[in-house]
């Protein structure tokens, strides 16, 4: 009996020790949760596609989906809490979301920041950036690369590179997704450029400088913008100046954006006797869009350009 009891005790001890050794192995096999916070809507869209299929990565957005470009945004206490809870920040850069970048780097200098526009050349000037004191233009680049599929393809690749550096274990997923998405975006950019080449008119007025990259990449020409400075509607004299400038350039349409009221744009279109319509730069959108929402929206823009500016006779 003593022998049998000793065997039972030893077997029980071995079971306890074996269980104790196995638990850390099972825990280690589960991927650690990693919170990736994106500042603005289009960067969030791109990052969701890049991280798709990477276990343990949660992608969130800092600013509301319907906000659009945050030129006049004021940081809230909820924003600070979101920034504090992020492991990685993915930002547009070029002045569009510096308030978030500066806060995150100041409070969490050990956490990585991915700037989606870093290293992308051929930047355009931002005519709408100015000093609040005297309206003197500042030498900043236009931050709205995301509104052109050709530039968006480069942004996707840059985000994948930054995420791979922050999370090397996900590099294969990030790079594979980025190659696929960037290829689709580049092809879409080619399609839009081909569509513009067949338009009867290619000179337009836009709401602000959000479509400057799209215009350059497709062959459109922006004759004037409705809103030259963030947060400021044009005066009556400025509206008349826009109408004269656009008329002299032969503008064929005025395009407003979903985030701004269309009234002034429509007034300018009436003064020019040309149609007005909405083009969506994908600066805002639904809270839970499909992964191909950017492409859907850009294809909608392509059809709007065809409808409003007309095909060649």
Q: Which of residues 70 and 52 earns the better pLDDT score? A: 52
3-state DSSP call for residue 43? Answer: helix
Q: Which of 60, 304, 69 is nearest to 199 (CA)?
A: 304
Is it the case that residue 47 has pLDDT exceeding 70?
Answer: yes
pLDDT at 140: 84
Tell me, yes or no, if the two domains 34-118+125-130+140-189 and 199-309 fold the same way: yes
- Segment among 42-56, 130-144, 150-164 with least mean pLDDT: 130-144
Give the H or E element holding residue 182.
helix 171-197
What is the spatial distance between Cα 37 and Cα 40, in angstroms, rounded to a whole number? 9
Long-range contacts of 132-135 (CB under 8 A, 24+ apart): 135/229
Tokens of 39: 């500042």
The string of pLDDT tens digits covering residues 81-99 is: 999 999 999 999 999 999 9
The mean per-residue pLDDT over the stretch 261-274 comes to 95
What is the spatial distance between Cα 156 and Cα 164, in angstroms, rounded to a whole number? 12
Q: Does domain 34-118+125-130+140-189 have CATH number 3.40.50.1980?
A: yes
* Other beta carbons within 10 Å of 15: 10
User: Helices 77-84 and 98-107, interaxial angle, to 10°?
Assistant: 50
**Top-tier CATH class for 199-309:** alpha beta
Average pLDDT taken over every residue of the chain: 86
Local confidence band at 72 (pLDDT 50, 70, 90 cut-offs): low
Evaluate whether 119 touches 65 at the Cβ level (below 8 Å): no
Local confidence band at 312 (pLDDT 50, 70, 90 cut-offs): low
The mean per-residue pLDDT over the stretch 290-309 comes to 97
Tokens of 73: 């945004």
pLDDT at 66: 83
**Predicted structure pTM score:** 0.85
The mean per-residue pLDDT over the stretch 244-251 comes to 97
Tokens of 138: 């500042």
Local confidence band at 169 (pLDDT 50, 70, 90 cut-offs): very high
Dihedral (Cα; 163, 166, 172, 173), 10-degree rounding: -50
Q: Is the dihedral of CA 157, 217, 139, 206 positive or negative?
A: negative
Local confidence band at 33 (pLDDT 50, 70, 90 cut-offs): confident
DSSP summary character for residue 304? H
Q: Give the C-alpha distances (Å, rounded to integers) separating 273 from 242, 246, 292, 313.
A: 13, 11, 36, 21
What is the spatial distance between Cα 111 and Cα 86, in angstroms, rounded to a whole number? 8
Kindly list the domain boundaries of the chain, sorted by start residue.
34-118+125-130+140-189, 199-309
């Amino acid at each position: 009996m003593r022998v049998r009891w000793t065997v039972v005790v030893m077997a029980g001890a071995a079971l306890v020790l074996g269980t104790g050794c196995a638990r850390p192995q099972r825990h280690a096999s589960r991927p650690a949760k990693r919170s990736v916070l994106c500042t603005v809507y289009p960067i969030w869209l791109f990052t969701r596609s890049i991280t798709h299929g990477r276990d343990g990565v949660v992608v969130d957005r800092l600013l509301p989906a319907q906000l659009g470009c945050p030129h006049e945004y004021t940081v809230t206490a909820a924003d600070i809490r979101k920034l504090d809870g992020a492991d990685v920040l993915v930002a547009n850069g070029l002045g569009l979301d510096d308030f978030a970048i500066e806060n995150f780097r100041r409070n969490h200098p050990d956490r990585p920041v991915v700037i989606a526009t870093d290293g992308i050349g051929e930047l355009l000037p931002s005519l709408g950036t100015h000093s609040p004191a005297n309206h003197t233009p500042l030498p900043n680049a236009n931050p709205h690369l995301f509104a052109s599929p050709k530039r968006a393809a480069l942004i996707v690749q840059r985000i994948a590179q930054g995420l791979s550096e922050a999370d090397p274990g996900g590099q294969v997923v990030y790079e594979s997704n980025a190659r696929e998405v960037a290829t689709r975006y580049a092809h879409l950019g080619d399609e839009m450029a081909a569509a513009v080449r067949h338009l009867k008119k290619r000179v337009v007025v836009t709401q602000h400088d959000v479509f400057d990259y799209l215009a350059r990449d497709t062959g459109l020409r922006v004759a004037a913008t409705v809103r030259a400075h963030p947060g400021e509607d044009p005066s009556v004299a400025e509206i008349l100046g826009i109408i004269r400038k656009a008329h002299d350039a032969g503008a064929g349409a005025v395009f407003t954006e979903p985030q701004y009221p269309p009234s002034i744009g429509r007034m300018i279109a009436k003064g020019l006797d040309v149609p007005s319509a909405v083009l969506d730069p994908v600066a805002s959108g639904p809270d839970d869009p499909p992964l191909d929402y950017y492409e859907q929206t850009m294809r909608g823009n392509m059809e709007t350009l065809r409808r409003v500016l007309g095909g060649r006779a």
